[in-house]
C-alpha cells in the first residue's frame, strides 16, 4: 500500500544546517565585543569633541580672532549636541541602533573633513555644529544599545566612557600639536580613520531592537516636569548646571589659563593635561562611588566642586601650576560625583512614562551649563575684565551654584522620601531599564 502523504512528509530528509543550499549566517560580533565597540565609540566621539581644545591658540594665531570667538566655537558645539539630543535622541528606538549609529559616524567623518580643511572661523563653526549634531544623535543610541546588551556593564561603560574620551582627546591632541607635524590636520585625520573602522564594526553588530512606527513623531522634543518631581529637579538642577559649567571652564579657558600660568613654556601640553586631569578624575569618581547612595554622592560631589574651584582660583592668584592641577583633581572628583548623583537623585522617582521627558530636561540643564557660561566668559574677557578676572568671576558663580544646591539639599532633608536616600547606581540602572 502506498505511503500516505503524512508518512511521506515525516520521512522526508531534513536538510543539514551545513548544506550547500543554506547560506551561512553572516558573521556577527559577540555581545561582549559589541559592548566594547559601543563604549569605544563614546570614547572617540568625546575625544573628537575635546581635540580642538589645545588647538585654539594655534587657530587664534593663524586667524587673528579674540577669546570671545574661542568660547563661541566651544559653545556652538554644546548647543548642537543639545539640539540633537532633544530631537534625535529617541530615533534609534524606532529605526534601530545600527542605522542611527552609522549615520552619526558618517556625520563625524564629514565633521573631521571639515575640520581638516577649515581655513577660517566660519568653516570651523560649521564643522563644530556638524560634530555636535552627530554626537548628540549617537549618544542616545549608544547608551540604549549598551543597556540592551548588558544592563550592569552597559551602565558602567556609559558612565565612565565620556570622561575617558574627553580627557584622552585633549591629551592626544596636545601631544600631536607639540611633537608632530601638521597639528591642525593630523589629529582629525587620525580620528576620521577611527570613525571609519568603528562604522565597519557597527555593520557586524547584531541589532538589539526591532523597528517600530513613530520615527517622525519621535523627533518632537519631549521635556516634562511632573509636579511630584519639581522639588528634586530644582535641587539637582543647580548641581548639574554647576558641574557642567566647570567642564566648560576647562574646555574653553583651560589652555589660556595654563599658558598664563607657565608663561608659555609647555603650554600646549599643560592645556591638554588640564582637561585630561579633570575628566579622568570624574571617571574615577564614577567607578569608586558606583554604589554610594545618591544623597551622599551629591553632597560629596558638591563639596569637592566647591573646594576644587576655590583651590583653582587660589592657585591662579598665587601663580602656582602645581596648585592648579591638584585643585583640578579635586574639582574633577566633584564633577563626576555631582553629575552622577544629580541624575540618580531624580530618576528613581519618575514613573516609567515620565523618564524620557525628565531625563531630557536634566540633560538640557547640563548642556546649557556647558555652553552658555563659556560664551558669556568669552565676552567678558574681551570687553570687561580680561582672562584672570573673568576666571575668578566664573569660578565664583560655579561655587555659588554648588553652594545653593547643597543648601537646597539640606532644606529638603525632612521632606525626602526614604528611597531617595538609599538609591544606588544598580537601582537606577534597573529603574531605567
Nearest to 184 by CA among 267, 268, 106: 268
Q: How many CA atoms lie within 13 A of 203 on its CB side?
A: 9
pLDDT block averages, 10 residues each, the chain of length 433: 45 47 63 87 88 82 81 85 83 84 95 93 93 87 77 67 79 82 89 95 86 77 73 82 85 78 69 83 85 83 91 90 92 89 75 58 80 77 76 86 78 51 43 42
- Length reported for the chain: 433
Q: Could you please report the per-residue DSSP string of 1-25?
A: -PPPHHHHHHHSPPPPTT-TTSPPP
pTM: 0.74
* CA–CA separation, 416 and 350 (whole Å): 14
In the block, cell 590636520 appears at 185
* CA–CA separation, 204 and 193 (whole Å): 17
Dump strand ranges (E) for 244-388: none
* In contact, 162 and 19? CB cutoff 8 Å: no
The dihedral formed by the CA atoms of 239, 241, 247 and 253, expressed in degrees to the nearest 10? -130
* In contact, 79 and 367? CB cutoff 8 Å: yes
Which stretches of 64-118 are DSSP H helices? Answer: 67-88, 92-95, 97-117
Cα-based angle 187, 192, 196 (whole degrees, multiple of 5): 150
**Model pLDDT, residue 117:** 92
What is the domain partition of the chain in residue ranges?
A: 29-207, 226-433
What Å distances lie between residue 179 and 173, 186, 268, 366, CA to CA? Answer: 10, 11, 10, 35
**Model pLDDT, residue 421:** 37
Superfamily of domain 226-433: MFS general substrate transporter like domains (1.20.1250.20)
Cα 308 to chain centroid, rounded: 21
Cα-based angle 299, 303, 308 (whole degrees, multiple of 5): 150
User: CATH for 29-207?
Assistant: 1.20.1250.20
Q: If you count DSSP H runs as helices and E runs as strands, how many of each does the chain have, helices first?
A: 18, 0
Q: Other CB atoms closer than 10 Å to residue 9's CB: what's the count?
A: 9
* CA–CA separation, 13 and 425 (whole Å): 54
Helix, strand, or coil here: 420?
helix
Amino acid at each position: 500500500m502506498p505511503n500516505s502523504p503524512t508518512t511521506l512528509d515525516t520521512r522526508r530528509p531534513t536538510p543539514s544546517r551545513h548544506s550547500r543550499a543554506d547560506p551561512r549566517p553572516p558573521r556577527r560580533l559577540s555581545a561582549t565585543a559589541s559592548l566594547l565597540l559601543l563604549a569605544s565609540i563614546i570614547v572617540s566621539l568625546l575625544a573628537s569633541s575635546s581635540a580642538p581644545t589645545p588647538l585654539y591658540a594655534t587657530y587664534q594665531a593663524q586667524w587673528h580672532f579674540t577669546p570671545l570667538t574661542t568660547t563661541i566655537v566651544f559653545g556652538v558645539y554644546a548647543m548642537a549636541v543639545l539640539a540633537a539630543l532633544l530631537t534625535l535622541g529617541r530615533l534609534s528606538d524606532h529605526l534601530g541602533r545600527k542605522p542611527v549609529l552609522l549615520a552619526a559616524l558618517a556625520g563625524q567623518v564629514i565633521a573631521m573633513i571639515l575640520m581638516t580643511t577649515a581655513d577660517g572661523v566660519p568653516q570651523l563653526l560649521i564643522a563644530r555644529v556638524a560634530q555636535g549634531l552627530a554626537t548628540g544623535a549617537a549618544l542616545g543610541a549608544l547608551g540604549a544599545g549598551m543597556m540592551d546588551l548588558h544592563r550592569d556593564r552597559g551602565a558602567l561603560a556609559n558612565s565612565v566612557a565620556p570622561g575617558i574620551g574627553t580627557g584622552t582627546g585633549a591629551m592626544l591632541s596636545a601631544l600631536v600639536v607639540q611633537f608632530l607635524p601638521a597639528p591642525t590636520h593630523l589629529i582629525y585625520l587620525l580620528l576620521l580613520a577611527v570613525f571609519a573602522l568603528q562604522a565597519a564594526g557597527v555593520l557586524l553588530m547584531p541589532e538589539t531592537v526591532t523597528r517600530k512606527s513613530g520615527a517622525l513623531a519621535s523627533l518632537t522634543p519631549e521635556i516634562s516636569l511632573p509636579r511630584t518631581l519639581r522639588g528634586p529637579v530644582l535641587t539637582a538642577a543647580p548641581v548639574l548646571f554647576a558641574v557642567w559649567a566647570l567642564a566648560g571652564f576647562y574646555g574653553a579657558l583651560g589652555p589660556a589659563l595654563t599658558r598664563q600660568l607657565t608663561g608659555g613654556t609647555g603650554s600646549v601640553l599643560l592645556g591638554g593635561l588640564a582637561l585630561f586631569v579633570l575628566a579622568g578624575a570624574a571617571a574615577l569618581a564614577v567607578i569608586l562611588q558606583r554604589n554610594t547612595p545618591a544623597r551622599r554622592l551629591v553632597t560629596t560631589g558638591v563639596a569637592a566642586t566647591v573646594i576644587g574651584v576655590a583651590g583653582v582660583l587660589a592657585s591662579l592668584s598665587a601663580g602656582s601650576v602645581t596648585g592648579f592641577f591638584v585643585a583640578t583633581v579635586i574639582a574633577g572628583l566633584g564633577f563626576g560625583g555631582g553629575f552622577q548623583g544629580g541624575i540618580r537623585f531624580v530618576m528613581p522617582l519618575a514613573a516609567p512614562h515620565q523618564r524620557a521627558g525628565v531625563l531630557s530636561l536634566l540633560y538640557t540643564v547640563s548642556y546649557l551649563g556647558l555652553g552658555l557660561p563659556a560664551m558669556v566668559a568669552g565676552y567678558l574677557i574681551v570687553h570687561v575684565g580680561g582672562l584672570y578676572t573673568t576666571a575668578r568671576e566664573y569660578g565664583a558663580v560655579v561655587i555659588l551654584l554648588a553652594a545653593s544646591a547643597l543648601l537646597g539639599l539640606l532644606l529638603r532633608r525632612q521632606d525626602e522620601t526614604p528611597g531617595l536616600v538609599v538609591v544606588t547606581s544598580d537601582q537606577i540602572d534597573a529603574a531605567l531599564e
